[in-house]
Structure 1
Amino acid sequence: MNPLKRLAPRPGALLPQDGAQRLLAGIAFLVTFGYGIYLTGEVLYLTQGLHLPAGEVGLGMGVAGAVALAAGIPVGHLADRHGARGVYTVMLLLCGLAMIGLCFTRTFWPFLFYATVFSFAQTAGYAARSPLIQHYAGDRPAEFRGYIRALTNVAFAASAVCAGWALELNTRSAYIAIIALGAVCHLVGAVMAWSIKSVPLRRAEQQGPRWVALRDRPYVVLSVLDGLMSVQYRVLTFAVPLWLVGFTSAPRWSVSSVVLANTVIVVFFQVRASRSITSVATSSAAFRRAGFAFLLSSAVFSLLPGMPPWAAVAAVLTAATVHSIGEIWQAAGGFELSFALARPESVGQYQGLFGMGLGLGTAVGPAVLTALCIDLGRPGWWILGAGFALTGLAVPVATRWAERATHRTQPAAEPAAEPATG
C-alpha cells in the first residue's frame, strides 16, 4: 500500500500514520501555539510594556495585515517553482526572527518593521506549506487539513492558558518571555520543516503563464465567495460578545462559554466533517448547508434581547452550536475545493489566492459586523444571515462553472517531475 494514500488520522487514532504527516502536524501545533501566545500578548506588550500609543499600535497592525494579504500568491508561486520545503522553512525562520526582534523593540518604527515581517511570513507560510500537504496527504488533502485545523484549535486553547500567566503579571519581562517562547516555537518548527523530505517539482508550472491562479476566473470567484463567508469567523469572537454584553441579559461568563463550545465542536468534529466531503459536489453542498446554518444561528442571536438570563444562555449556546457546525462545514468544503480545483503544478499559488480571500474576509469582518449587528441591531442579524445563505447558494453555481472550464474537463498528461531543490 502506498503510504501517501494513507489518510491521517485513522478513525480513532490520535496521530497520523505517515512520518511526514506527523511532522507537518507537529509543526502546525507548535507554530500555532507560538502564534497564539504572541497574538494574546502582543497588544498589551506594546501598549503597556513599551507604552506605545494605542493609535500607533493599531496603525502598525493594520499596515502589517494589509501587507500580509498580498503575501500568499507570490510566496506560493516560489514554493511551486523552487521547492515547498525550503520556502516553508524560510517563512518559519522569518517568523521566529521577527518575534526576537520584537523583544528588543522600543519605538514605533522597529515595531512596524518586525510586525510586518511576521505577518507577511506567517500568512505566506500557509501557502508555502500547501504543496507539502497535497503531496503527503495523498488523494485526500482536505481530510488532513481538517485534522490540522482540529489540532491547531487545541494549540490555541493551550496558548491562551500560557499567555494568561503574562497577562496576570502584566510586566514587560513577562510579555517578552512569552513572545520569546513563540519565537522558539517557530525556530524549532523551521528545523522540523527542513527535515521533511522535499517534494519533486513539476515542469508544467514553468511552461505556462506565471500568475496562472489569477487568470483562473472561476477559482478567483470561489476565493471571493469563501472570503465573504469567512466573515463568519468573527461572529462568535467579535459580534456575539458585544451583542451579549450590550444588548442582552445574558451573564458575562456566557461569552467564554461560546468560545469554549466552538473550540470543542471544531476539535472533535472537524475531521469527521472533512472525511465525508470527498468531491467538488459534496464540497459545494457543504457550503450551501453552512450558509443556512449561519442564517439559522443569526436568527437565534437576533432574538436574545428581552429574554430572561437563563433563556438567553440556552439560546446563545444553541446558536453558537449551530454556527460552529456551519463553520466546520465551510472549512471542510473550502479545504476540498481549494485543492480539487487547483492546478496540481501550481497548488501553492492557488492556495495563496484562496487564503487571500479568507484573510480579507476576516480582516473586514469586524467593520461589517459592527455596521450590521451592533448599529442596526436585530434587522442587521437577519441581513447578515441572509447574506451567508445567498453566498452558500452561489458556491455550487461557481463550482459548476469551474468544472466546465477547459483545463478542468480535458485530461492532461502527467507533467514530468524535476528533482526538488528544497
Structure 2
Amino acid sequence: MVVLDISVVNVALPSIQRALGFDEAGLQWVVNAYALTFAGFLLLGGRLADLFGRKRLFALGLAVFSGASLAGGLADSAPLLIAARAVQGLGAAVLAPATLTVLTTTFAEGGARTRALAIWTAVGIAGGTAGNLVGGVLTEFLSWRSILLVNVPIGAVALVLTTRFLAGDRRAASRGRLDVAGAVLATAGLTALTYGIAQARTYGWGAPVTTAALATGAVAMMSFVVVEARFARAPLIPLRLFRSRAISVGNVAMVLAGACLNPMWYFLTLYMQKALHYSPVQSGLGFLPHTLVSIIVGVRVTPWLMRHLDGRVLIAAGALIAAGGFWWQSQITATSGYLTGILGPAIVFSVGSGLLNTPITTTVTSGISPADAGAASGLMNTTKQFGGALGLAVLVTIAGSHLDTPAALAADYGRAFLAIAAILVVVAAVALALPGQRDGERRRTMAG
C-alpha cells in the first residue's frame, strides 16, 4: 500500500483535476503532499518504533494510512484531498520503517533474514509497478476515488492479522525520551529540501522559492546534526551509526540507487502514453515484465547468490547490468516497438535492480543492535525516498525541451535514461568502497 500509493495516482490525475477543479499549479500537490510528508517524517517514524514498540506503531500506521485513504476517496474539494494525501504520507512514514524493523528484529542475521528482506524488497517493487496498472484499471473502469478507497479493506485485513499474529513487544521506556528537537529539525529540513527540489521542476533552480527552500533545508539539517551530536539525550539518529562504513557508504549507495530506480517509472509512463500513445491500462500491462523479472531475480536468485558472493560484488554487478539496460532504454524513438523499446531494456535493468536491491538493504541494516534497528530502518527509507525526489528533479531538468511532439519527447526521455545509466555506474564504484560482507550461512558453512 505504501509504495503503490506513490505511483497509483499518476494516471488518475486528469480525472481528479476535472472532478475537483484543480488548476495546473495545484494538481502537483496530489502527489507532492504525500511524498513530502512521507519523506519528511520517515526518520521520526523509525525512531518511534524503537521507543514505543514495533507492533504498536505498525498497527497505528495501518490505521492512520487506511483512515486517510477513506477520507481522500470521499473528498469533495481540492484542499480536502490534499490534506488527506498529506495524512496518508504521515501514516506511511510510520508504517514503512516499522515493517522493516519487524523483520530485522524477528529474523537473526543470516539466511532467514536474507530471504525475509528479499521478499520485503520484492513486495515493494511489485507495489511500485502495480500502481501504474491498478491506477489505470480502477480509473478507467470505476472512478479515480477507487484508487484511494481500495486501501481501506486491505488495511482493515492487515490490521486484523497484525493483532492476531504479530508478536507483541513492550514499550522501551528505558531507551529515553523522544528526541523532539531532532524530530522537528529533521522533518523540517527534509521537507524543505524536498519542497525545494519539487519547486525546481517548475520554476528552476535559481528561482527565489527554490533557493529559499533549499537554504532553509540545509540550515535545518546542519542544526539537526549539531543537536544530535551535542544536546540530544536520546538522539533520533545516533550519529555513532555512521561510524559503520556499511551504514555510511551503504546509504550513499542507497541515495544514488533511489535517484535512478524510483524516477524511471515516471519517464517510462510518460514515454508509453505520450510518445507511443498507449492507454493507461496498456501502460500498466507494459510494466508487468519489470515486476516479474525483478521478483524472480530478487526473491529466488539473489538470496542464493548472497550465499556464494560478497554483497558488494553483487551490488556493483547489479548496478552495471542495470546501467546497460538503461543505456539500451536511452536509444528509444517515437517509432520503437514494444519488444525493443520497452521489453528488452526492461529485462536487462530489472535483472540488475533485482541483484542490487536486497544486498544494499541487508548492508545498511546489518550489525545493528535492536535498540537502533528502527533508526537504521528509518534512515534507509529516508535516503531511498529522498534520493528518488532529488533524482527526479535533476532528471527532469536533464530531459530538456519538454516539446510535445512524440519524437522530441522520446529524445528527452532518452537523455534521462542515459543519465540514469551514468549514475548507476557511480553506484557500482561506491559499492566497491563497502566493507566485505558475506551471508551468514556461507560463513557457517565454511566454518563447518
Partner of 2:197: none
> How far apart, in 2, do the equivalents of 1:160 and 1:315 lie?
18
* Residue of structure 2 aligned with 1:294, choices 322, 334, 341: 322
1:193 aligns with 2:162: yes
Partner of 2:118: 146
* Residue of structure 2 aligned with 1:359, choices 360, 368, 385: 385
1:64 aligns with 2:34: yes
**CA-to-aligned-CA distance 1:282-324 (integer Å, 9 cap, x gap):** 2222221122113212322233449x746x7336432221110
Matched residue of 1:197: which SS? coil
* Residue of structure 2 aligned with 1:344, choices 370, 374, 394: 370
TM-score (norm. length: structure 1): 0.73
What displacement does 1:265 show?
Answer: 0.4
Which amino acid in 1 is paired with 2:353?
E
1:39-58 to structure 2, matched below 5 A, reads 39=9, 43-44=13-14, 46-58=16-28
What displacement does 1:102 show?
Answer: 1.6
Structure 1 residues 168 and 131 mapped into 2: Cα distance closer, same or farther (>3 Å)?
closer
Structure 1 residues 77 and 241 mapped into 2: Cα distance closer, same or farther (>3 Å)?
closer
> How far apart, in 2, do the equivalents of 1:175 and 1:245 lie?
18
Partner of 1:25: none
Partner of 2:63: 93
Asked if the contact 1:34/1:183 (under 8 Å) is kept, the reply is no
1:394 aligns with 2:363: no
What displacement does 1:352 show?
Answer: 0.4
Asked if the contact 2:132/2:283 (under 8 Å) is kept, the reply is no
Partner of 1:120: 90
> How far apart, in 2, do the equivalents of 1:110 and 1:316 lie?
38
1:384 aligns with 2:420: yes
> How far apart, in 2, do the equivalents of 1:39 and 1:379 lie?
25
1:325 aligns with 2:294: no
> How far apart, in 2, do the equivalents of 1:159 and 1:295 lie?
24
> How far apart, in 2, do the equivalents of 1:257 and 1:236 lie?
16
What displacement does 1:280 show?
Answer: 12
Structure 1 residues 325 and 177 mapped into 2: Cα distance closer, same or farther (>3 Å)?
closer
Matched residue of 1:237: which SS? helix
Structure 1 residues 389 and 252 mapped into 2: Cα distance closer, same or farther (>3 Å)?
same
Matched residue of 1:303: which SS? coil
**CA-to-aligned-CA distance 1:158-201 (integer Å, 9 cap, x gap):** 7766654542256xxx4434533322221332222222111467
What displacement does 1:62 show?
Answer: 1.9
1:266 aligns with 2:294: yes
What displacement does 1:359 show?
Answer: 0.4
Which amino acid in 2 is paired with 1:65?
A
Residue-pair matches, total: 365
**CA-to-aligned-CA distance 1:108-165 (integer Å, 9 cap, x gap):** 3322322111012113311122221123333332321222343455566777666545
> How far apart, in 2, do the equivalents of 1:291 and 1:64 lie?
29
Structure 1 residues 33 and 58 mapped into 2: Cα distance closer, same or farther (>3 Å)?
closer
Partner of 2:235: 210
Which amino acid in 2 is paired with 1:185?
I
What displacement does 1:355 show?
Answer: 0.4
What displacement does 1:326 show?
Answer: 1.2
* Residue of structure 2 aligned with 1:228, choices 256, 268, 278: 256
Structure 1 residues 272 and 234 mapped into 2: Cα distance closer, same or farther (>3 Å)?
same
Q: Over the residues paired in the alignment, what is the CA RMSD in angstroms?
A: 3.7
Matched residue of 1:179: which SS? helix
Which amino acid in 2 is paired with 1:189?
A
Unaligned runs of 5+ in 2: 178-232, 402-410, 439-448
Structure 1 residues 229 and 379 mapped into 2: Cα distance closer, same or farther (>3 Å)?
same
1:12-51 to structure 2, matched below 5 A, reads 31=1, 35=5, 39=9, 43-44=13-14, 46-51=16-21
What displacement does 1:105 show?
Answer: 2.2
> How far apart, in 2, do the equivalents of 1:294 and 1:110 lie?
40
Asked if the contact 1:278/1:336 (under 8 Å) is kept, the reply is no
> How far apart, in 2, do the equivalents of 1:146 and 1:90 lie?
25
> How far apart, in 2, do the equivalents of 1:40 and 1:320 lie?
20
| Percent identity over paired residues | 12
Partner of 1:411: none
Structure 1 residues 316 and 157 mapped into 2: Cα distance closer, same or farther (>3 Å)?
closer
TM-score (norm. length: structure 2): 0.69
Range 374-383 or range 60-69, more displaced: 374-383
Which amino acid in 1 is paired with 2:93?
T
> How far apart, in 1, do the equivalents of 2:96 and 2:127 lie?
16
**CA-to-aligned-CA distance 1:39-68 (integer Å, 9 cap, x gap):** 467635632332333422313532432222
Asked if the contact 1:91/1:121 (under 8 Å) is kept, the reply is yes
> How far apart, in 1, do the equivalents of 2:56 and 2:122 lie?
26
Which amino acid in 2 is paired with 1:146?
A
Partner of 2:339: 313
Unaligned runs of 5+ in 1: 1-30, 404-422
1:135 aligns with 2:105: yes
Which amino acid in 1 is paired with 2:139?
L
